[in-house]
Amino acid sequence: MIDPTHVPAHAEPGRAGTAPIEAWPDRLDAACRGLCFLQRAVVVRETGSTQDLARGRAAGDVVVAWRQTTGRGRDGRTWADTGLDGVAVTAVAAVQGPWIALAAGVAAAEAIERVAPTITVGLKWPNDLMIAGRKVGGVLIEHDGAASLIGIGINVGQTGFVGELSSRATSLAVAGLQVDRIAILEALLPALDRHLGSGEAAAIEAFRRRDMLRGRVVRIRTSAGPVEGIVESIDPLVSITVRTVSGVHQVDASTARIESFT
DSSP letters, 15-73, are: PTTS--GGGHHHHHHHHHTT-SS--EEEEEEEES-HHHHHTTPPTTEEEEEEEESSEE-
Beta sheet of 122-124, edge-to-edge order: 40-47, 61-68, 86-93, 147-155, 134-144, 128-131, 122-124
How would you classify residue 254: left for phi > 0, otherwise alpha for psi between -120 and 50, otherwise beta? alpha
Supply the pLDDT for residue 74. 62
Contact (Cβ atoms closer than 8 angstroms) between residue 257 and residue 242: no
Mean pLDDT by 10 residues, the chain (262 residues): 49 60 97 98 95 97 94 64 86 97 98 96 96 95 97 94 86 94 98 98 97 96 93 96 95 92 93
Supply the pLDDT for residue 71. 78
Q: How far apart are CA 185 and CA 154, in angstroms?
A: 10
- What are the residues facing 248 on neighbouring strands? 243
Contact (Cβ atoms closer than 8 angstroms) between residue 137 and residue 153: yes
Q: How many C-alpha atoms does 127 have within 13 Å on its Cβ side?
A: 24
Supply the pLDDT for residue 13. 45
Nearest to 242 by CA among 217, 260, 221: 217
Q: Rounded to the nearest 5°, which phi and psi values hold at 44?
A: -125, 145
Count, residues in the chain: 262
Q: What are the DSSP calls for 93-140, one per residue?
A: ES--STTHHHHHHHHHHHHHHHH-TT---EEETTTEEEETTEEEEEEE
Supply the pLDDT for residue 167. 84
Supply the pLDDT for residue 98. 95
Contact (Cβ atoms closer than 8 angstroms) between residue 242 and residue 115: no
Supply the pLDDT for residue 207. 97
Supply the pLDDT for residue 79. 61
Beta sheet of 217-222, edge-to-edge order: 247-252, 239-244, 225-235, 217-222, 257-261
Contact (Cβ atoms closer than 8 angstroms) between residue 124 and residue 213: yes
